[in-house]
Amino acid sequence: MIQYPISFFASANSPSGIQTQWAVESSGLTLLCSIPTEFEGPGGALSPEDLFAQALTNCFLATFKVYAEKSKLGFSGINAKTELIVDLDEKKRPVMSEAKITAIIKGASSPERFRVLADKALSSGFILNSVRTKVYLELSFAD
């Protein structure tokens, strides 16, 4: 049985200036980050926007995999790509307005049941439930 609350940690250390990169660490893994060129940074490393898109993608995949295994539904793999749109809100503030996850399930034993599981994963993933960003799913199947 999972016991809540659960804590996760991240830490970062950065020099000043928008043209500098910094390191962020979680679970003993370190990633190099930077402000993207679209926001006048140097690019060349993961941006906060990249990490946000990755969090949405990974939340969907992890939740989907749990549901598939608990439902004893077999598949050989899943490929997911996410397009994150940053736009201005009604107050002219930049926000992560929407994300489109395009997923391809390979070797699905029952595409109809997998479609139900994918919709359930999209609507119940922890991170997906924690953001105001509109998240859409485009699902297809391959052999």
Q: What is the mean pLDDT of the chain?
A: 96
Q: Domain locations in the chain?
A: 1-46, 48-142
For residue 128, give both structure tokens: 């997906």
pLDDT at 1: 87
- At the topology level, CATH places domain 48-142 in GMP Synthetase; Chain A, domain 3 (3.30.300)
Predicted TM-score (pTM) of the model is: 0.93
pLDDT at 122: 97
Dihedral angle sign, alpha carbons of residues 9, 3, 68, 121: negative
For residue 117, give both structure tokens: 């599981």
The kind and range of the H/E element at 87 are strand 77-88
Pairing of strands 22-26, 29-33: antiparallel
The DSSP 8-state label assigned to residue 121 in this structure reads: H
Look-up of token digits 């910094």: 22
pLDDT at 141: 97
Q: What is the DSSP string of 15-33?
A: -SSTT--EEEEETTEEEEE
Rounded to an integer, what distance in angstroms lies between the CA atom of residue 55 and that of residue 127?
7
Query: Per-residue pLDDT tens for 72-114?
Result: 999 999 999 999 999 999 999 999 999 999 999 999 989 999 9
